[in-house]
Amino acid sequence: PLSHGLPSRGAMSRSLPTTLRNRWVAGVAVVTVLDADGGFRGVSVSSVVVVSIEPPIVALSLSSDGSVHRLFVSGTMFAVSMLDRSRTFPADRFAGRAPVPDAAFTGVPHVVHASGVPVIEGAIGWCVAAVTQVIPAGDHVLILGEVQDGATPEDTDDPLVTYEGRYRALEAE
């Protein structure tokens, strides 16, 4: 392939996509959904994108290795809670790096939205969306959802971000 003077290492290594993902600074959020029994399920993500303003649509990328992605079918309601740096513990819990919450989210401060899905308490922003599309994408699944409700209740200049697998601070201007 033409590299226009860029250094090339020949064939792409299997680790390159992971390295590229880790070099992308991203906000951290917890996505929550109800399971078949009405219990709460959640997962930490750093791949939330607002893909449309009108109508308001968000996209998530979830690993197809786990079971959470199977809960997202057309019409399913889910919540996205954007976290600040004081919320590393919930981020770790839903990423499996701390005790995983039970179906009642015991020990996880949250409020239940009118749709039934939990929103993490103290989120710097949140939205509740209805799944409109589920798109297989390699070892992940893209979930598109039309936003039904949301707010940005907390004003902060200290969002929880990740870079190279670690939480980082943004420098103040």
Domains and their CATH numbers in the chain: 27-154 (2.30.110.10)
Long-range contacts, 167-171 (Cβ 8 Å, 24+): 167/28, 167/85, 167/88, 167/91, 168/25, 169/85
**25-46 pLDDT, tens digit each:** 889 999 999 999 999 999 999 9
Residue 4, pLDDT score: 62
Closest C-alpha to 18, from 46, 37, 57: 46
- The whole-number pLDDT of residue 8 equals 64
Per DSSP, the three-state class of 126 is strand
Ranges of residues in the chain whose predicted pLDDT is under 50:
none
Sign of CA dihedral 100, 79, 117, 135: negative
Q: Report d(CA 154, CA 108) in Å as an integer.
A: 18
Residues 50 and 57: beta-carbon distance below 8 Å: yes
pLDDT given for residue 136 in this prediction: 95
Task: Return the pLDDT at 1.
Answer: 52
